[in-house]
């Protein structure tokens, strides 16, 4: 009984991952649009040219992410945090000094590399190392950091830019990123074995006392072994399609609503609802992923997502507030559901021993969907209209679900855990 009452250090690691997500997504992603117009004016370039930096950021992120997993598996989390602090913090501080478009691109690419170093291969892997029974909830809480950042970071940077200018805004982003990531070096740990525990806080005696079928699984396929399974590539393609669906709709809905004569405040309110529901969803679906089979939870999350997208596709200038709110709530719950479930899918299919290397590669494939989702749906909208484009996004989500429903746990993994 005494051991059960002890605070489990795994929750400290989850909080650290929450803060990493706060920096990596909240500061780095959700503030970008605030800089587009002031930077385009200062550099005498078009907004389209400035926005290209976001694609360079994502491309660097996708290329570097698969390389991070092996470093984490070697216990180099502190080195990764320091490198991330230098590249993120330094990259943003350099952005505050740029005077040419080429330097703007180079500095944003540097930030993209830094983001990958402390990206999903870190903040989604560490909770998986520390938890099995509550893995979904732990990953979900870690990913709530992105939602918190999406609310706080734009307000802080807007206030900074109002009082000073865009250059000070970038400097503040760099300072916050560097301070948070460096501070985490003092509390972060890679695996529970570093403090003499097993996943879920079990001592060696408690672990040995459990029936073999109930013990946390410590084994797993290597990345080369995972590459040889159909399940790996089905998950990769599934996550690519869900990236197209989510980002394709998320980044085009405001233009659609404004285009059919809704006030910009309506589009902003819809985005606020989506962000709020996404935060709530990570708690809900993290809990569900620990209680039910991941295929059912993934299906449920995507039913909500597709329902929201279909409602959006049918929005007209006559749609009332209730209709708009329901679509935003459904879409927000659906888009937030993916993050905790994704970690559970990878862990249950391949194990956790080499989780970081496998998840890092899979997420880089997902990033391709993120990169091409918005322009693809926008291009379709240019010829067939936004409603048809959104329905194409819904179809992508359905393809993603079908692929997950069809995957089977690789025989190589089931044989491994039976030994």
Look at the pTM and tell me if it is higher than 0.75.
Answer: yes
Q: Of 199, 234, 262, which one is at a domain's C-terminal end?
A: 199
Backbone φ, ψ for residue 315 (5° rounding): -65, 135
Residues 152, 252, single domain; the answer is no
Band (pLDDT 50/70/90 cuts) for residue 12 is: very high
Flag whether 211 is in a domain: no
Question: According to the model, what pLDDT value does residue 147 have?
Answer: 79
Residues 330, 276, single domain; the answer is yes
- CA–CA distance, 114 with 122 (Å, rounded to integer): 12
Flag whether 213 is in a domain: no
- First vs last Cα of the chain: how many Å apart? 31
Residue 264: pLDDT above 90? no
Residue 63: pLDDT above 50? yes
Flag whether 209 is in a domain: no
Residues 234, 130, single domain; the answer is no
Band (pLDDT 50/70/90 cuts) for residue 76 is: confident
Residues 141, 228, single domain; the answer is no
Q: Which two tokens stand for residue 394?
A: 């819904």
Flag whether 210 is in a domain: no
Average pLDDT score over residue span 4-31: 85
Residues 50, 193, single domain; the answer is yes
Q: Which two tokens stand for residue 202?
A: 């079990």
More confident residue, 419 or 116: 116
Q: Which two tokens stand for residue 396?
A: 């992508």
Residues 187, 294, single domain; the answer is no
Q: Which two tokens stand for residue 309?
A: 């997208």
Q: Of 168, 199, 230, which one is at a domain's C-terminal end?
A: 199
Residues 246, 151, single domain; the answer is no
Percent pLDDT > 70 in the chain is: 95
Residues 135, 275, single domain; the answer is no
Give the residue numbers spanning the domain of 309. 220-418
Residues 95, 242, single domain; the answer is no
Residues 189, 227, single domain; the answer is no
How much is the mean pLDDT over the chain?
A: 86
N residues, the chain: 419
Alpha helices in 164-229 (DSSP H): 166-184, 204-209, 223-227
Residues 92, 129, single domain; the answer is yes
- Number of structural domains, the chain? 2
Q: CATH no. for residue 323?
A: 1.20.1250.20
Question: According to the model, what pLDDT value does residue 345 have?
Answer: 92
Tens digits of residue pLDDT in 179-233:
999 999 999 998 888 888 888 888 888 777 777 666 666 678 888 999 999 999 9
Q: Which two tokens stand for residue 356?
A: 């970081």
Tens digits of residue pLDDT in 77-123:
899 999 999 999 999 999 999 999 999 999 999 999 999 999 888 88
Q: Of 166, 199, 232, which one is at a domain's C-terminal end?
A: 199
Residues 170, 83, single domain; the answer is yes
Average pLDDT score over residue span 240-265: 81
Q: Helices 101-117 & 32-43, crossing angle to 10 degrees?
A: 160
Band (pLDDT 50/70/90 cuts) for residue 2 is: very low
Render 336-400 in DSSP notation, one character per residue: HHHHHHHHHHHHHHHBSTTHHHHHHHHHHHHHHHHHHHHHHHHHHHHHH-HHHHHHHHHHHHHHH
- CA–CA distance, 131 with 133 (Å, rounded to integer): 6
Contacts of 134 (CB under 8 A, 6+ apart): 200, 290
Contacts of 33 (CB under 8 A, 6+ apart): none
- CA–CA distance, 414 with 412 (Å, rounded to integer): 6
């Amino acid at each position: 009984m005494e051991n059960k009452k002890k605070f489990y250090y795994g929750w400290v690691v989850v909080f650290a991952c929450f803060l990493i997500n706060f920096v990596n997504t909240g500061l780095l992603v959700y503030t970008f649009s605030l800089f587009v117009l002031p930077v385009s004016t200062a550099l005498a370039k078009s907004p389209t040219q400035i926005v290209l930096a976001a694609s360079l950021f994502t491309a660097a992120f996708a290329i570097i992410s698969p390389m991070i997993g092996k470093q984490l598996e070697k216990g180099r989390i502190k080195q990764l945090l320091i490198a991330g602090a230098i590249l993120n913090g330094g990259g943003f501080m350099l952005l505050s000094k740029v005077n040419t478009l080429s330097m703007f691109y180079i500095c944003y690419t540097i930030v993209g590399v830094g983001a990958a170093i402390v990206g999903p291969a870190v903040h989604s892997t560490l909770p998986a190392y520390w938890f099995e029974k509550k893995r979904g909830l732990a990953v979900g809480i870690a990913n709530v950091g992105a939602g918190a950042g999406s609310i706080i970071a734009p307000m802080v940077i807007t206030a900074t830019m109002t009082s000073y200018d865009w250059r000070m805004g970038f400097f503040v982003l760099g300072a916050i990123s560097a301070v948070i990531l460096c501070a985490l070096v003092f509390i972060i740990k890679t695996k529970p074995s570093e403090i003499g525990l097993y996943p879920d806080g079990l001592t060696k005696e408690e672990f040995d006392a459990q029936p073999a079928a109930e013990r946390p699984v410590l084994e797993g396929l290597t990345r080369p072994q995972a590459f040889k399974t159909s399940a790996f590539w089905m998950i990769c393609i599934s996550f690519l399609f869900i990236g197209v669906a989510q980002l394709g709709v998320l980044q085009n809905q405001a233009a659609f609503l404004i285009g059919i004569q809704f006030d910009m405040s309506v589009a902003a309110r819809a985005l606020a609802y989506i962000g709020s529901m996404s935060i709530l969803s990570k708690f809900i679906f993290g809990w569900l992923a620990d209680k039910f089979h991941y295929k059912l939870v993934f299906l449920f999350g995507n039913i909500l997502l597709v329902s929201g997208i279909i409602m959006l596709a049918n929005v007209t200038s006559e749609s009332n507030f209730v209709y708009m709110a329901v679509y935003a709530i459904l879409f927000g719950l659906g888009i937030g559901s993916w993050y905790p479930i994704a970690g559970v899918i990878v862990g249950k299919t391949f194990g956790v021993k080499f989780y970081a290397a496998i998840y890092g590669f899979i997420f880089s494939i997902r990033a391709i969907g993120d990169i091409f989702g918005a322009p693809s749906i926008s291009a379709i909208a240019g010829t067939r209209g936004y409603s048809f484009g959104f329905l194409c996004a819904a179809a992508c989500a359905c393809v993603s679900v079908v692929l997950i429903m069809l995957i089977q746990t690789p025989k190589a993994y089931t044989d491994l855990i039976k030994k």
